[in-house]
Amino acid sequence: MIGPREVPRLWDRHLLNCAVVAELVTGRSGTLVDIGSGAGLPGLVLAMVLPETAVTLLEPMERRCRFLAGCVTELGLENVTVLRARAEEAALRADVATARAVAPLPRLAELAVGVVRPGGMVLAIKGRTAAQELKDARPVLRRIGARSAEVVRAGQGKVVPATTVVRFFAR
């Protein structure tokens, strides 16, 4: 599910990078939806480090859903559901929505507010371009009623570099 060049960086760049996002979720959620789960990042990782959180891995592609279901079984994760659907079709209202490498922030914001409850938190894992993406997304965020949109860093002092996340709250 990831490219062959990513294998040597799997632990640091992918798994730990996702795991530290749990510090932004802790105490805020009973339910989390990972939009466009793909290889399960960050959804599977968060499900492992947040076992009390009910995690839905939302993925439209059947092949990826089969892969994710196999991972859930292999890892014995009882707090995870794999749902084959597009975000705009899913009837979900989670406390938190996460996404990594899904879409540019203006598009992702529109998808995310459709799957979180009112007041729910959206965490979009981004990289170096996070501040610019947030600036570009401001008109969309205003239109959809998003609040408190900001770039935050997760895992400072734990991972280098810290994970860059755009966080906002649904209306």
pTM above 0.85, yes or no: yes
Asked whether the predicted pLDDT for residue 39 surpasses 60, the reply is yes
pLDDT in tens, 93-134: 999 999 998 999 999 999 999 999 999 999 999 988 999 999
Asked whether the predicted pLDDT for residue 157 surpasses 50, the reply is yes
Q: How many Å apart are CA 107 and CA 36, to the nearest integer? A: 13
